[in-house]
Structure 1
Amino acid sequence: MNKSMKILDRVREVYPSLSKSQRLIADSILENWENTAFVSPRELGERLGVSETTVIRFAKTLGYSGFSELREHSQNLIKEKLTPAEKMSATVQKIKSGETTFDRLLTTEVENLKDGISKVSADEFYKAVDLIENAQRVFIAGQGVSEALCKFLEFRFRRMQIDTRPVTVGGKAFYETLLLMKDEDVLFGIGFFRCSQDILRSFDYARKNCIPTIALTHSSVSELALKSEVTLVANRGPVSLLNSLVVPMAILNALVLYIAERDEEKLKALKKLDEIPDIFGFNGKH
């Protein structure tokens, strides 16, 4: 198959020859092909009520070697089509046209949060808690918009006296900090669509050196998730629009609260902050 051919054109071309089950997959792609980039064949099959084998066979019918190649092609097309500027433009256009009002924007955030909750694996969440509790230090890596999430997590962890090392700068300094990691530490990486190559390389380095990893990312099959030991999936809304940080922030907040609830020493550390004026001999005023 000519890989430059658009996915939708190829689906329409083979549609008449598809089985009933395969047409369910085809209809899903024709309605929202972008979602194909962020699911596994098992997840797509469960969503549509067909088997994982049917999904894989469908991908082969389109001319791909398997579903992984179809997914990769979808991701590449999105990267070519949807730059951050285009996402912002599309979102602003919806507001200008009246299609999206202030109330609707907030309602969408609530809907994303509800949908996001259903995608977070409780098992993965508790594994993340265990890794952080047992870690000597937590290295938090993220760049771009993810840096804001890193700063939030760093602030909360430091207040609980968790030894935290942010890794958010680019260039040589990024890699110099990674060299400090040991196998008793944990690397917590935050990256979504168009994840930084620095972050991806940091996970390769961690795996090579037996350093536990946790990823906060948009899909269980994202580039970052596939390199991570534990994955927290954070739905950020439609990839064609400016993405929200509501769900990622909610997951991080829940993580912080759960760690504090499980470890009494963490709560004591927070309470000790109230004693700073007495400890250092001032009344709390600058």
Structure 2
Amino acid sequence: MSGSPGQLWVVATPIGNLDDLTLRAAEVLRRVTVIAAEDTRHSAPLLARVGSAAATVALHEYNEREQCERLVERMRQGEDVALISDAGTPLVSDPGFRLVRAARAAGLVVSPVPGACAAIAALSVAGLPSDRFVFEGFLPAKPAGRRERLQLLAAETRTLIFYESSHRIAESLADMAAVFGPAREGVLARELTKRFETILAEPLGALAERVATDADQRRGEFVVLVGGAHGEDADRVLAEGRRVFATLTSELPPARAAKLAAAITGAPRKALYDHAKNVQPVPHE
């Protein structure tokens, strides 16, 4: 065992163009003893390009719990470990949370090596408000779950950022147009930094129609951005929330009714409850 423990480096890798790997990231990947990669076969060309001779181990959603103990022990023995994902910044809709948590719990140093992130890259060119935003990652795969999640976000005033796969992009855009309204601002960022990079900025209704009718726009990897609710959008959601809340209060205590109405309509729970207190006394629960 060496005199001091190793550490964990959380290293961002390119989301498409390999030239986006930072000089510091390349140096760390050459210097560490072991690299935990989401898919070692996928990462092999990048590691070969930078001349890394480190051992690689697979770390993905199906084995992360088991691998954490082994990797933490290697760091305790003095080995430096780098964590990378298939593309972009680890832990952003990718595995790695448990390893970072375990390393920190063991008192080991965890250091970031920042770089590309598809969500931030898309936000930077979307032309939507970027001072406040919400990253939602991937929506539920099943239609009912997806629509339910979107409904909860209908009154969100911050810019929304989603990831989506090629086989669900058309359905997800159609659901967004249906839930948020076809006039809501939308941006589709496809294949960022790659040869067929495309960035489309249109109302959600038009965006959904274009993707549904153009097979080329259903290929690749996607970031979808949606402008936050404002004006009539927010008023419509709040009005629907109050209507559902009023119906539920005939059977439920106000606090419970407000929680359910918010879950059903996406209206802010506190706004519903506060409105009820202003228009009628709230009975003691």
Scaled by the length of structure 2, the TM-score of the pair is: 0.31
Scaled by the length of structure 1, the TM-score of the pair is: 0.31
Higher strand share: 2
Structure 1 or 2, whichever has the larger Rg, is 2
Higher helix share: 1
